[in-house]
Chains A and B, each alone.
Chain A
Amino acid sequence: MKCRRTGTMRSRERGAAPGRALAILVAGTVAALGPARAEQLSASVRSERGEPVRDAVVYALPEGAAKLNLPAPERVVIDQVDKEFVPYVTPVYVGTRVNFPNRDRIRHHVYSFSPAKTFEIPLYDGMPQRLVAFDRPGEVVLGCNIHDWMKAYVYVVETPYFSVTDGAGLAAIEAPAGDYRVEVWHPRLEGEPEATARTLRLESGAAPRLDFVIAQKRVWSPRRAPASDPDYR
């Protein structure tokens, strides 16, 4: 599995050394166990008008035997850069602990009232005191209390096998062979993700491709303050 990772990590954390050691240990164990053969599954997501949809999470929920032997969740980072959350959409495996480094020189106040995870990190700079663990599947909308336009999504899924579509609406998932139910979620998805489900048997050597067409609903945002990048949607 691959996770997207952007930006450089500033190591200003207290207790970073034990965490790092643990990570190396886990990685080593996984390596020692030997990788499960990863098959490639590619997907494309388009809107009803035929336009490619970016920032859609395509995820494969294992069924049957594939449910076993799932790797442990890794740590994920969502930055705040130039008064925006980066990345916009972050899928996480249920149970993942997420860090929210503040890369700006001003403080931010991260919050969410989503039922899947209601939390807040009051005004801080640099690294927050704690990581936030996302224990329940579902959509979590992030906001900043003092910057009304700052918005990001964390989509918690019960599978480590997921990918986010790029500008061309394409995503690639690596998963071991097996039966999967593949679903799509998007911040503006009209309806439930379950409705988009497609079952798939991933076989060795095959590189199937799934094409999804989703309906999107209209959403409006609060007015953005000036002196910021207007392109970031």
Chain B
Amino acid sequence: MPQEPRRFQFRSFRARILTFVVGVLLLVQGAVLLSVHAANLRGARQHVNEALELTAAAFRRSLQVREQILVEKARLLSSDFAFKQVAATRDSATIRSALENHSGRVGAQVMMLLDPAGAPLASTLALAAGDAEALGSLVARANDDEFGESSAIELLASAPYQLVIVPLFTPEPSAWIVIGFAVDDALARDLQKETHTDVTLLHSGRDGWNAFSTTLPAGPLRELEQQLPARVPDGSAIASLQIAGEQYVSWIAPIAGADAPLVAVLQRSLDDAMESFLALRGTLFVIFGLGLVVSVAFSALIAGRVTRPVAELARGARRIERGNYADPVTLAQRDELGALATSFNAMMKGLAERDRVRDLLGRVVAPEIAEELLSREIALGGEERRVSVLFTDVRGFTGLSEREEPQRLVAILNTFLTAASNAIESHGGVVEEYMGDGAKALFGAPVSHPDDAQRAVLAGLALAASLPAVNAKVAQLGAQPLAIGIGIHTGEAVAGRMGSLARLKYTVVGDTVNLASRLEGLSARYGVTIIASRAARDECPEILFRELDRVRVTGREKPVAIFEPLGLLAEADADLRERVELHREALARFRAADWEKAAAGFAQLARREPEARLHRVFLERIEALRRAPPGPDWDGTFTHREK
């Protein structure tokens, strides 16, 4: 019987497996997905940052290289003898024309000659008032340099130039040569080729940041100018800026070698960089989903491999429950479940065997006895019980067995014993054993009822009533009709398992048993079928008895009164009652030694029941006693000599 589920329990093993597998899978894969995703994101960000750092390094290198190239161009000029001659003239116009010539040669946008103090001697560009300061600081830096060289990005006439300054050696440094290259979008585009990022160079003015060289289009550029913080940290910084709706990772750094705050911004779109990482995330999700589906399918499959065999075994168990031992459980697998099925089948065989044994036992001994024997430990011992014992057998069996052939004899006997067994068991009695041509039955052990004695008597009456039917069968077998005798006595006896441990039986022994047997033997003498003792009669209030005699049987000292049960009191008609009464009277006269009256009574009874041998027995007894009168202490007890 399945138990009621407490709280939440699984109704099916398959569901449990599925839930478990799916749960574990979700947990594990979920954890994996989350951690991989987090790592992925971190990795992506880090990658972008690292790429940007590398780009920044490339940018710096690029600027440096440009600077180097410019310095070398300037150096070449400073060693040009012709220019030295021109410079020595100190003629501003001549010098300027030579400067213009040279700037054409090297592709510079501005060239100047300064005196050692830094004041311009000649310039290709008309300088504004504020430019002197820029030049002055450039000269100061060059003075501090080992080779008297320096470079910077400075504003000249409000335009940005990358300037380099070198001394003019004649052969002592006698002047400064300054070459400048305009910084515009071309520079940013050049740098972009090297760094593969968007490049913007800005300088800080009164109204915020202004870009002087950029690869960005106008709109995003304005956004960038607005988003840059007013103060840029001294070192480089990486920030995430939102421009034109896209996230840009931006490397911001001040440009070295500049007086005015100049800043370079390298930018790379985060979304572009993240593309491959997002693709990876998508792949992860797909794998996760597929894994889930596959796992569910597989776990269902595997669950099936367990639940189906288990269900098969359960069906086998139910068959056993119903008592069907015929169909073994067949499982095709060779794993633990297959082994279980094999064991199960062996168990089933064992159970079948046991059932057969039990069945047989139940047939060999009465089921109640079988149950009693099985229910306790195998041990010898008994208990005192009040029982009614019924003996029955076929009269004249010895002659019968001599006459009939064995097979027919067995058939005849089986017919009688079957009827006896039916009568006994239908009244709650137990056939303790069959003894050749008869049976010994117990009422009150192993199972007792309050009316065991009456049951016994009723059983006997039933058996007697079934005799015609038995004889009909016997006649069919071609044999003479049987005559049977039944003896019933009630009393204390010892009931239990007796014998030896190797060979025991449940049985009842005692005086009570012996007397019942004797009474059965007496039945032929009196020509009655059933003889019951007073003890039995006393416990049968519903049955009409005829007192037969008071006897002393072989081997017993004490006399015992014997009775013949005639049927249920309620069913007894007036005639029968009268006859019983008459018999009681006659018996009384007999015990009173009133031979005349006794004889008359018995004679009258004999006339009314001509087939009954009982009355003739008494008449003969009376005759014998007339001839040999008994002594004064005679109480009417008849002593039977033989068994």
Contacts and interface: CB of A to CB of B under 8 A. Distances in A.
A145 B172 contact: no
A141 B173 contact: no
Chain A interface bracket (under 10, 10 to 19, 20 to 34, 35 or more): 10 to 19
Contacts of A109: 81
A59 B434 CA distance: 168
B149 to A, nearest CB: 9
A113 B169 contact: no
Contacts of A142: 171
A150 B173 contact: no
A143 B171 contact: yes
Interface in A137-167: 141-145, 148-151
B79 interface: yes
Contacts of A141: 170-172
Interface string B160-203: 00000001011111100000000000000000000000000000
B171 A219 contact: no
A109 B84 CA distance: 14
Contacts of A113: 84-85, 87-88, 170, 174
A145 B85 CA distance: 11
A144 B143 CA distance: 24
A221 B169 contact: yes
B148 interface: yes
Interface in B310-363: none
A232 interface: no
A118 B88 contact: yes
A201 B359 CA distance: 162
Contacts of B171: 141-144, 148-151, 221-222
B147 interface: yes
A145 B169 contact: no
B173 A143 contact: no
A143 B88 contact: no
B147 to A, nearest CB: 6
Nearest to B82: A145
A124 B81 CA distance: 16
A163 to B, nearest CB: 23
A30 to B, nearest CB: 37
Given A118-B88, A145-B81, A222 B169 contact: yes
B146 interface: yes
Contact of A143 (B87, B146, B167, B169): B169
B88 A220 contact: no
A111 B171 CA distance: 9
Interface in B66-96: 78-79, 81, 84-85, 87-88
Interface in B436-464: none
Contact of B167 (A111, A145, A220): A220
Interface string A47-62: 0000000000000000
Nearest to B89: A113
B78 to A, nearest CB: 8
B68 to A, nearest CB: 14
Contacts of A149: 171
A219 B84 contact: no
A223 interface: yes
A219 B148 CA distance: 9
A143 B170 contact: yes
A142 B85 CA distance: 14
Nearest to A153: B172
Interface in B119-154: 143, 145-148
A74 B331 CA distance: 133
Nearest to A118: B88
A118 B79 CA distance: 18
Contacts of B172: 141, 151, 219
A125 to B, nearest CB: 19
B94 to A, nearest CB: 14
A118 B84 CA distance: 12
B173 A220 contact: yes
A144 B169 CA distance: 11
Given A143-B171, A148-B171, A220 B79 contact: no
Nearest to B147: A220
A78 B526 CA distance: 186
A108 to B, nearest CB: 12
A141 B171 CA distance: 7
A151 B148 CA distance: 17
Given A113-B84, A113-B88, A219 B173 contact: yes
A221 B174 CA distance: 11
B79 A148 contact: yes
Contacts of A151: 171-172
Contacts of A144: 171
B81 A220 contact: no
B100 to A, nearest CB: 22
Nearest to A152: B171
Interface centre among A118, A148, A150, A218 (most CB of B within 10 A): A148
A150 B143 CA distance: 22
Nearest to A218: B143
Contacts of B143: 218
Contacts of A221: 169, 171
A113 B175 CA distance: 12
Interface string A19-34: 0000000000000000
A120 to B, nearest CB: 9
Contacts of B146: 220
A68 to B, nearest CB: 36
A34 to B, nearest CB: 43
B22 to A, nearest CB: 77
A233 B452 CA distance: 149
A223 B148 CA distance: 11
A227 B173 CA distance: 24
A66 to B, nearest CB: 33
A148 B78 CA distance: 10
B334 to A, nearest CB: 89
A107 B81 CA distance: 16
B175 to A, nearest CB: 10
Interface string A100-134: 00000000010101000010000000000000000
Interface in B280-305: none
Interface in B540-589: none
A214 to B, nearest CB: 18
B345 to A, nearest CB: 103
A210 B364 CA distance: 157
Contacts of A219: 172-173
Nearest to B149: A220
A148 B169 contact: yes
A223 B145 CA distance: 13
Interface string A212-233: 0000001111110000000000
A86 to B, nearest CB: 16
A141 B84 CA distance: 13
A111 B84 CA distance: 10
Given A113-B87, A221-B169, 7 more contacts: A118-B88, A141-B172, A150-B171, A151-B171, A220-B146, A220-B167, A220-B173
24 contacts: A109-B81, A111-B81, A111-B84, A113-B85, A113-B174, A141-B170, A143-B169, A143-B170, A144-B171, A148-B169, A148-B171, A149-B171, A150-B171, A151-B171, A151-B172, A218-B143, A219-B172, A219-B173, A220-B145, A220-B148, A221-B171, A222-B79, A222-B147, A222-B171
Interface of A: 109, 111, 113, 118, 141-145, 148-151, 218-223
6 nearest A-B pairs in the assembled complex, by CB-CB distance: A143-B171, A113-B88, A151-B171, A145-B81, A220-B148, A113-B170
